[in-house]
């Protein structure tokens, strides 16, 4: 089955807004910047014999999640509530997304961040399988979309030239961002199969992220793990 995720400009914007808020703004319950966020992916889908087209039109941030620097945990209650709610708005619950926030010291090179940091971890894969198993038993779901958005604070702001539909990469100021999507599917024998999904984003394919100006993000003086925004070298 070929899986194609079409990410609307609105959904991408919402993922970037909440992902960067969790990444840059220090939240009161933690001592450092860079916490993981979690949210739900909503929209529509069409399924053909060999192809599944998943249109993510909206993203809803999970405000009940416990957002920490190295993990995020969530309550099934939230997913259950949103399933019922979006149905009334004519949308489907498609799956979920979480973020991987990395400060500059977390990876030596952008290549490592891209190859390892921007991928699903072993725990993510176990969670994706367990989530579909549970949703299959509870609601009869046959498949489930999982996405990860990675934010990596780099020294230099460099725009990414080529759009990669398997792992779209883009820069917002000096924060390098990556997206990944996998679809978990229940097979005829009851096993769960994981497969990558192609990501299409008109916004990123047209390089429109280059118009976003958030200045630069830097470590606060004397602080190893706290970020703030800079404009002409001054904090804003």
Integer Cα distance of 43 and 32 in angstroms: 34
Q: How far apart are CA 118 and CA 150, in angstroms?
A: 5
Q: How far is the CB of 119 from Zn ion (least distance, A)?
A: 9
Q: Binding segment for Zn ion among 17-25, 123-131, 137-145, 170-178 (CB under 5 A)?
A: 123-131
CB 192 → Zn ion: shortest distance, Å?
Answer: 18
Position 112 contacts Zn ion (CB under 5 A): no
- 190: alpha, beta or left, given left = phi > 0 and alpha = psi -120 to 50? left
Contacting range for Zn ion; rule: CB under 5 A; set: 72-80, 82-90, 113-121, 173-181: 113-121
- 100 versus 216: smaller Cβ distance to Zn ion: 100
Please list, residue by residue across 25-58, b when 16 or more beta carbons sit within 10 angstroms of its beta carbon and e when fewer do: ebeeeeeebbbbbbbbbbbebeeeeeebebbbbb
Q: Give the count of residues interacting with Zn ion (CB under 5 A).
A: 2
The minimum distance between CB 30 and Zn ion, in angstroms, equals 17
8 A C-beta contact, residue 204 and residue 164: no
* C-beta closer to Zn ion: residue 98 or 216: 98
Token pair 């099934």: residue? 76
Q: Which is nearer to Zn ion, 141 or 146 (CB)?
A: 146
Would you say how long the chain is, in residues?
Answer: 236
**Radius of gyration (C-alpha) of the chain in whole angstroms:** 18
Q: Which is nearer to Zn ion, 33 or 55 (CB)?
A: 33
Shortest Å distance, C-beta 36 to Zn ion: 7
Smallest gap, in angstroms, from Cβ of residue 120 to Zn ion? 6
User: In the chain, what are the helix, strand and coil shares in percent, each to the nearest 5?
Assistant: 30, 35, 35
Q: Which is nearer to Zn ion, 46 or 121 (CB)?
A: 121
- Residue 121 token pair: 């971890």
Which one among 124, 134, 165, 195 touches Zn ion, defined by CB under 5 A? 124
* Residues in region 34-73 near Zn ion by CB under 5 A: none
Question: What residues make contact with Zn ion under the rule CB under 5 A?
Answer: 121, 124
């Amino acid at each position: 089955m070929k899986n194609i995720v079409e990410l609307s400009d609105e959904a991408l914007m919402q993922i970037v807004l909440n992902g960067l808020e969790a990444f840059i703004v220090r939240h009161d319950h933690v001592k450092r910047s860079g916490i993981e966020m979690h949210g739900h992916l909503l929209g529509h889908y069409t399924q053909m014999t060999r192809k599944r087209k998943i249109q993510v039109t909206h993203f809803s941030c999970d405000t009940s999640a416990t957002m920490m620097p190295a993990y995020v945990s969530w309550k099934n209650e939230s997913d259950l509530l949103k399933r019922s709610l979006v149905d009334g708005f004519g949308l489907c619950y498609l799956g979920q997304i979480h973020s991987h926030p990395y400060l500059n010291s977390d990876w030596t090179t952008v290549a490592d961040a891209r190859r390892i940091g921007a991928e699903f971890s072993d725990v993510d894969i176990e969670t994706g399988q367990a989530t579909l198993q549970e949703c299959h038993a509870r609601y009869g779901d046959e498949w489930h979309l999982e996405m990860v958005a990675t934010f990596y604070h780099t020294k230099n702001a460099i725009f990414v030239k080529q759009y990669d539909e398997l792992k779209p990469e883009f820069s917002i100021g000096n924060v390098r961002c990556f997206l990944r999507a996998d679809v978990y599917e229940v097979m005829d024998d009851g096993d769960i199969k994981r497969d990558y999904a192609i990501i299409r984003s008109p916004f990123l394919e047209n390089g429109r992220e280059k118009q976003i100006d958030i200045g630069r993000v830097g470590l606060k003086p004397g602080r190893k793990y706290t970020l703030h925004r800079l404009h002409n070298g001054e904090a804003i």
